[in-house]
Structure 1
Amino acid sequence: MGLIMESRFAPAGGGLAIVTLTGELDVASAAELRGHLAALIGDGAGHLILDFARVEFVDSNGLSVLAGVHHLLRHPRRPGADEHAADAGALAVASVNQRVRQVLRTSGFTRIIPIYPSVETAIVVHEAGPHHRPAPGER
């Protein structure tokens, strides 16, 4: 089936990008997603929320993309950026079905990447700031 990606900044021109994915995140689509997310980061997205409501399947290639993007956001390589300061970004996933959630849980991703019940919840937590974000696994 492939993977369809639609992105928007919220608010427009801000540092938060919401990416809605439809289809399968697998060997055939992983490189395209990696490129898409890297372009968003290059355009100023320091925080990404991936809407998984219509993601039917994730394999190890998709997990690799998530791990790489998580690392890139947490350890920015921008001049003068401090990876432990506010410059560090975040990756979150929202609206995950049970099948994909089980893959994320089994692979350990739920310990490092927050999963929210909806995009709206993820946005609210993001807007509350880093001091109000629950640790992974506490959502």
Structure 2
Amino acid sequence: MTDAFRIDVPYTDGALAVIALSGEFDIATAPAVRARALDLIAVGHPDLVADLAGVTFCDSSGLGTLIGIWRCAKEAEGSLTLAAIPDRLGRLLSVTGMGAFLPAYPTAETALAARQGNRTSA
């Protein structure tokens, strides 16, 4: 049995928020991720960093959810940045070409620093 799936929001500041996922990101957990991300966008955090360091598995449902969140963030004049992408998701992003649209960083800290830099220079 795997560890329970978790969604945490360890950081919010103005338009920016980090949503940290851990466990299996699949068809069973994707709706909760989407709902939490859209809640963050709705309350004024359209610039999201998805910290995927704790994700142990991600299937096409997880990828589809990230694409949907990215679209919603764009509609709210925000963005989605990925951090600590698991290998399987990295391959999915590469095969689908979505890696060109979703910036990625090795850690949540580097992604956050990059987003904060973009926000202050905009």
**TM-score past 0.5 threshold:** yes
Q: How many residues align?
A: 120
**Structure 1 length-normalised TM:** 0.77
Distance 1:64-1:100 versus aligned 2 partners, 3 A rule: closer
**Structure 2 length-normalised TM:** 0.87
SS of the aligned residue for 1:20 comes to strand
From 99, 111, 117, the counterpart of 1:122: 111
1:17-49 per-residue CA deviation (whole Å, 9 max, x = no partner) reads: 101110111110111111111111112111000
Once residues 103 and 120 of structure 2 are traced to their aligned partners in structure 1, the CA distance between those partners, rounded to angstroms, is 14
Which segments of 5 or more consecutive residues in structure 2 lack a partner in the other structure? Answer: none
Once residues 63 and 91 of structure 2 are traced to their aligned partners in structure 1, the CA distance between those partners, rounded to angstroms, is 13
Q: Percent identity?
A: 30
Larger relative contact order (Cα-Cα within 8 Å, sequence gap ≥ 6): 2
Residue of structure 2 in register with 1:79 after alignment: none
Once residues 50 and 3 of structure 1 are traced to their aligned partners in structure 2, the CA distance between those partners, rounded to angstroms, is 15
Structure of greater Rg: 1
Once residues 31 and 110 of structure 2 are traced to their aligned partners in structure 1, the CA distance between those partners, rounded to angstroms, is 28
Q: Kindly indicate which of the two structures has a greater share of residues assigned to helix.
A: 2
